[in-house]
Chains A and B, each alone.
Chain A
Amino acid sequence: MTKDDAMLTGRYRIASAAAVVLGIALILLSELGGVHEVRVFGAGLISLGGIGLGVLAGLDQPRRAEWLAWVRDRRVALGMIAALVSVAPVVVAFAAALVVLPAAMGEGRSGMALLGGLIALLMLMASVGCFVLAVRAIRRAARPVTPGSPAEAGEEAA
């Protein structure tokens, strides 16, 4: 990368970051100041700025990003936490629906309520099932990646 390129990249980076900051300011103005007309502009600036930052970093030489390594090393733990957090609220919702199902059926439209309970049960099963599968998959990632040679794998196949 030439010096000019580097300078240009530096400028784009500043512009992108500024877009994000300005966008956040507009969102605050919209939501706290009640000026909802600017919300879409704020959102647009944040998106464009984010894309700009990402693209500039992506096209740059690979560098040792310490925080990325930190994330990578903890990807199993982070994955587990994310899985738990993303599933917990729906589980609460559907479990609650099942708990109150008898009461709901007593309030007339019992057939519909029963159907609702059934749907909730299916969704609960799907959520819990996916959580279990995802956790298993993430835990498998804890196994170290072995750089097995292709020839060995070939032997296996043969």
Chain B
Amino acid sequence: MIPTREILWNITALGPILLYTLMAIPFVFLAYGLARRVRMWRQGQPENRFDQLGRRLWHAILMTVLHGRIVRRRNRFGGLMHLAIFVGFVTLFIGTVIVMIEADITVPIFGVSFYRGDFYLVYKAVMNLAGLLLIGGSLAALYRRYVRRPATLETTGDDVVILAFLVVLGVQGFAVQALRMAVTDDPWGPWSFVSYPMALTLSALPESWLRAIHVANWYIHFLTNFVFLSYVAYSKMIHPFTSFANVLFRRLKPVGALDPIENIEEAEVFGAGKLEDFTWAQLLNVDACMHCGRCLEYCPTFSTGKPLRPRDVVLELAGYMADRGGIFSGELGQGENSARYRWGAGPDRALIPDVVSPAELWDCTTCGACMAQCPVYIEHVPLIVGMRRHLVLEQGEFPEEVTSVFTNLERLGSPYQFPPNQRAAWTKRLDQPVPEMAEVAARGEEVEILFWVGCLGSFDSRNQRTTVALARILQAAGIKFAILGKEESCTGDPARRIGNEYLAQMMAMQAVETLNTYNVKKVVTACPHCFNAIKNEFPQIGGNYEVIHHSQLINQLIAEGRITLDPNSALARGAVTYHDPCYLGRYNGEYDAPREALAALPGLELREMRRNRNTSFCCGGGGGRLFMEETRGTRINQARVREAIDTGAELLAAACPFCMTMFEDGIHGVGAEESFKVLDIAEIVAGSMITPNGADGAKEHGAAESEGAAPESAERPE
């Protein structure tokens, strides 16, 4: 006897008639809901996301079907749970298609049956396993929502209804199979290892009863499926479609580069003040969110109780779009805090401030932790900066503190109120002079590398110490370098991220013009914000340079033996923890160079904070936040300083002047000045150098430090 089964056993002709004719209904609902969303996305601005289709397709498969970002090394539970549900659901779907091919194509048309023998037996076992994965995964998801309840997860009615659907669909499948097998008593029954024991139990019932219950279950099973499929497009279950599309059409440009407003002098719309001002891909972004909350896990504003939660911004926009598009979204219930982003709040709201509040927009540090975590490549920061642009460029609305930043940038080329001719004031602290490009060019000479000091490194007294330290390292290594001096000006990074795109473009163009005048090829900077702007944003306006961060250069100099470190350095002793700057790490992928440079000092023991590398936790200073008051929630910099202190380290190694400023403030804020300090990588290395003339590096460093209290100190503009 060849193992197989009778398809449509116990079902009269009415069964397939209903099954196939009613099939039109879920298809109509699914197609309608999807088309409705497509219609909304098409109202967005044009943007080419159809390049490199091969790479896009492979990446989309890798990230969705193959769970590339869904299953994570840390925090496995959610990812594996999703994998179980996904594999279970997809396998069962494929199984259904196989039965359909047998029953509707190969047997009736070609008279060939393959749904038998060994294939059938393996099929049975695999389907039983898939059913278990589906039910198990869904129950695990419910357990997570009701018992584990991570703070980043907010449970809506929709979430629960979907999981209940999945569990019930799986259970129905087993019930139908067990009821059939209880009557047919197949000798190969044990291959269906879940249904088989139940079939044995059920076989104690009279056959007529079994047949009756089986029929009821069969009909309800397919009807439940149809209802579920009809519901898909009106709930977050649309995500298999939208997520795939979103990864497929994701932005392939460097994540650290914001897209400029092209041709800004002639543009008519600046930033996003209406839904339609976003690009179509950004509107797709918004619909791809399935509320997993991963964007919140390392989010500095969520973690410190501020109004901004990147997930909520996305969902606020999604709910608004659903309202505007007349899409009934199946947000059956409401989370505790999130009534505002649900469908049904009304289409006649203004994007800002009714849908997204200015407080949410201004709190963002643009650290990119949300984007690095999002499994479907939603880009929150460009959404937020787009709305900031509208506020700044169209409304002239922004935190009051920022006014002086803008006017100083406009007039003096830096966020601070210092005249440009003081930019090189720090060079007086060095024994050897630091040449300026103008002099070098006048002499007809060239330099190996241009040291881009940056505004904080030039004017802020604390960061001037880092600048001096780096210059000493460069001099000790015998590198021929120069600075721009008074010709240097801001890269435009803070202005751009605050939303003043016009000012940012002017600053960037001025900087590129200066660099091109001197035919600069290679740039080193101690500021990851300058680094990111020069590396990723200057090419947008014809500035192409090789840029390295000072931690990379220092590491290279150590590795090449061009500077010698004192293994007994008094400065580099004890436990140290390193903070990854967002604009160096997450935005530009450099995590190792600073750590390797620290590892070259044997007296240091590197301890990692819980949140490190691409899950680093922002200092709170990016996105122009350094220049704004932190009025909502608790202090981000203090949270990070506490985390650093908790490692047991006494020294925090920084690699960014913004972080430096935030941490100096944070250390005072938590009252740890006595026991804990922050030093830049350059300061640690410079202070541990054995210089060729035999001078003790640490002593010189000490001297530099006391000089650091020089009178010209930059205050945060009020």
Contact = CB atoms under 8 A, between A and B. Distances in A.
Instruction: Report A-B touching, CB under 8 Å.
Output: yes
Interface of A: 20, 23-24, 27-28, 30-32, 36-37, 39-40, 42-43, 46-47, 49-59, 62, 68, 72, 75, 79, 82-83, 85-90, 92-94, 96-97, 100-101, 103-104, 107, 109, 112-113, 115-120, 123, 126-127, 129-131, 133-134, 136-138, 140-141, 143, 145-151, 153-158
A131 B165 CA distance: 9
16 contacts: A31-B13, A53-B28, A54-B35, A55-B35, A59-B35, A86-B224, A89-B213, A93-B175, A96-B213, A100-B201, A113-B200, A116-B200, A129-B142, A151-B357, A154-B359, A156-B337
Nearest to B27: A50
B527 interface: no
Contacts of B357: 149-151, 153-154
Given A89-B172, A97-B198, A79 B161 contact: yes
B160 interface: yes
B139 A126 contact: yes
Contacts of A151: 307, 353, 357, 359
Interface in B160-217: 160-161, 163-165, 167-168, 171-172, 174-175, 178-179, 194, 196-205, 209, 213, 216-217
B31 A55 contact: yes
Interface of B: 13, 16-17, 20-21, 23-36, 38-39, 100, 104-105, 107-109, 135, 139, 142, 146, 156-161, 163-165, 167-168, 171-172, 174-175, 178-179, 194, 196-205, 209, 213, 216-217, 220, 223-224, 227, 305-307, 316, 325-326, 328, 332-334, 337-340, 342-346, 349, 353-357, 359-360, 632-633
B198 A58 contact: no
Contact of B157 (A53, A138, A155, A158): A138
Given A62-B325, A140-B157, A119 B198 contact: yes
B343 A145 contact: yes
Contact of A86 (B200, B227, B337, B359): B227
Nearest to A110: B200
A101 B204 CA distance: 8
Nearest 9 A-B pairs (CB), nearest first?
A58-B35, A54-B31, A154-B307, A50-B27, A62-B326, A116-B197, A116-B201, A137-B157, A36-B108
Nearest to B30: A54
A96 B202 contact: yes
Contacts of B161: 79, 134, 137-138
B164 A134 contact: yes
Contacts of A79: 161, 332
Contact of A90 (B24, B31, B217): B217
B204 A107 contact: yes
Contacts of A104: 200-204
Contact of A157 (B24, B337, B340): B337
B420 to A, nearest CB: 39
Contacts of B164: 83, 130-131, 133-134, 137
Contacts of A103: 204
B356 A150 contact: yes
A119 to B, nearest CB: 5
Given A90-B220, A93-B217, A113-B201, 15 more contacts: A31-B16, A43-B104, A62-B325, A68-B328, A82-B227, A86-B168, A86-B224, A90-B171, A93-B179, A119-B174, A119-B197, A149-B353, A149-B354, A150-B353, A151-B359
A156 B306 CA distance: 9
Interface centre among B172, B197, B205, B305 (most CB of A within 10 A): B197
Nearest to B166: A130
B24 A140 contact: no
A49 B24 contact: yes
B633 A133 contact: no
A96 B109 CA distance: 40
Interface centre among B29, B33, B36, B355 (most CB of A within 10 A): B36
A137 B24 CA distance: 28
A136 B100 CA distance: 36
A147 B201 CA distance: 53
Given A89-B216, A133-B160, A147 B332 contact: no
A125 to B, nearest CB: 10
A47 B30 CA distance: 11
Secondary structure of the A contact surface, majority rule? helix
B494 to A, nearest CB: 24
Nearest to A102: B204
Given A116-B202, A126-B135, A150 B326 contact: no
B717 to A, nearest CB: 24
A117 B200 CA distance: 9
Given A96-B209, A137-B157, A85 B220 contact: yes
Nearest to B215: A89
Nearest to B228: A86
A149 B354 CA distance: 6
Contacts of A31: 13, 16-17
A43 B22 CA distance: 10
Nearest to A48: B27
Contacts of B196: 112, 116
B339 A24 contact: no
A47 to B, nearest CB: 5
Contacts of B104: 36, 39-40, 43
Contacts of B165: 134
Nearest to A54: B31
A55 B346 contact: no
A32 B172 CA distance: 28
B20 A46 contact: yes
A51 B35 CA distance: 10
A123 B613 CA distance: 44
A44 to B, nearest CB: 9
Given A50-B31, A113-B200, A93 B328 contact: no
Nearest to A151: B357
A20 to B, nearest CB: 5
A51 B337 contact: no
A90 B178 CA distance: 11
